[in-house]
Amino acid sequence: MPAESEQPVSESSSALAAQQVSPRELALFFLRLGTVAFGGPAGHIAMMEDELVRRRKWLSREKFLDLLGASNLIPGPSSSELAIHIGYLCGGFPGLVISGFCFLLPAACLVGALAWVYLHFSKLPAMEGVLYGIKPVVIAVIAQALWRLARTAVKTRFLAAVGLASVALAFLGLPPILLLLVAGLAVAAVLLFERARKGEKLFSLALLGPLRFPGAAKSTVVASAAGAAAAAPVTLGSLFLVFLKIGSVVFGSGYVLLAFLRADLVVHRAWITDSQLVNAVAIGQVTPGPVFTTATFIGYLLGGVRGAVVATAGIFLPAFLLVAASGPLVPLIRRSKIASAFLDGVIVASLALMAEVGWQLGRASIVDLATAAIALLSAVALLRFRVNSAWLVLIGALAGFLLFRFHGHSF
């Protein structure tokens, strides 16, 4: 049975890769997704799964999980890298560029506009009502996606145990990349032990080399960053290099990004203040699309429109390059039983990280009876009536805005 289950994945992957999606379809979908995808990486992943796996059937759930695992193993914004992976699968290298660019473009433009408002009026626009209604919808979308993905990813009791242990470790604060590696190596080690017990020949783990590399790169580059010299004048070149480095080493959530941004931009270079950094991260989190568009806000503060473009290009460029380099390896990994077991462990750990993020977001988003009702109704609409999640986000925004105006105060 296991031997039969692996082969269809490879064949399905090949078939899907050959079934080209037009550049126009890719562009329109990811432009729309980048416009309405609130909720951070967990929300983005949930919306992609809902639309592309269940509705449009551009790829199977197994392939989606493979790409999710691969995205979590390289530095950079995981949901953006998943979008780039999907574009590469469905449209080759042109699709890789189109999907990534169209996903980040709406958020980058919106963040740039808010940076202009911030710079000229010294305050941020009020978004409490809209966000009040959107957040519980996002929680429902995340919960639905977790349920569906877990049913596919958790193939054995051992994988279920690894998933539960990963959830516990995530809540205990284990760094994301270390958690992914531990889970992957645990599943691969059990398979190796079983094969050794049966007297089978143990073959090379060479395929795991590329999977371990990002963690090593992170420790090396972070160590060099810690000893970096202090302040230098802001130029477009230096701005690009700073964000290129950050995009090459950051794993995890926007809170991890905050630590890197503060070390480089506030402490070492004194380019911005703590207050400006907090505002930048807040804008990156409350706008749709990738949280890494925080770089757009900071770039605009430091260098106007050209600074925003340079900073955005710098922080996202590694994602395109890393996906282009690692994308062709995913089918090869699935052909190796050991590497495939490693990827299975990474996938359940990725879902554990998604669950931990969803829980933290839920605590901050479902704060009263109104938000609980929005979350519950959204869950019913998703699970029972299969309403498109993008429409639910817009409905939630409208409901939150009306509630905000009706009550006449911030929630």
CA dihedral 46, 48, 54, 57 (to 10 degrees): -160
pLDDT band at 358 (very low <50, low <70, confident <90, very high): confident
Model confidence at 220: pLDDT above 50: no
Specify the amino acid at residue 394: L
pLDDT digits (tens, 9 = 90+) for 62-82: 889 988 888 877 778 888 999
| pTM exceeds 0.75 | no
Q: What is the mean pLDDT of residues 79-102?
A: 93
Identify which has the larger pLDDT, 23 or 263. Answer: 23
pLDDT digits (tens, 9 = 90+) for 309-334: 999 999 999 999 999 988 777 777 77
3-state helix, strand, coil in the chain (%, to 5): 80, 0, 20
pLDDT band at 354 (very low <50, low <70, confident <90, very high): confident
> CA-CA distance, 330 to 207, in Å (whole number)?
10
Lowest average pLDDT, out of 53-62, 70-79, 393-402, goes to: 70-79
3-state secondary structure of 367: coil
Decide if 257 contacts 281 (C-beta within 8 A): yes
B/e letters for 6-29, b = 16+ CB within 10 Å, e = fewer, are: eeebeeebeebbeeebebebbbeb
